[in-house]
A and B are shown apart, each in its own frame.
Chain A
Amino acid sequence: DGCIQFTRHAGDVLLNFNRLRSRNILTDVTIQVDGQQFHAHKAILVACSGFFYSVFMDPENANLSAISLDPKVDPKGLSLLLDFMYTSCLNLNDSLVLATLNTAIYLQMEHVADTCHRFIKSRH
């Protein structure tokens, strides 16, 4: 007996979740920031962000289906981090890296925040 490991499985599952997100299928929370709305799956958010883990693990928020983030959060940073959660790819460029870093800190995604720090240092 043995185990057959499908090496593509994790990526294929994540791709399907990203397709569901883009078609707004089975999404269960709307994130609002600076007048913009982003639909997502709580399970993915909780799996990837300490902030969302704290929010949705709180029994009082059990039925929360919409959440407004601090107005100082940059929607472009949030959009990049949502794409990262659903694709494992983090798009970094000089113009958005600070917004991405600040949003990663806000969302308690310290590994991504560390990567943003290293990117900033490497550019100077």
Chain B
Amino acid sequence: HEGVNTIKEMGRSIHEIPRQD
């Protein structure tokens, strides 16, 4: 992604799979 403005997002990006059902 050289040369493209990159904005950093610090929050979660995906759901979290739980330890159990």
Contacts and interface: CB of A to CB of B under 8 A. Distances in A.
A3 B1 contact: yes
Contacts of A15: 16-17
A7 B8 contact: yes
A97 to B, nearest CB: 29
Contacts of B17: 15-16, 19-20, 23
Chain B's interface size range is 10 to 19
Interface in B1-21: 1, 4-20
B2 to A, nearest CB: 10
A16 B4 CA distance: 29
Interface of A: 1-9, 12-13, 15-16, 19-20, 22-23
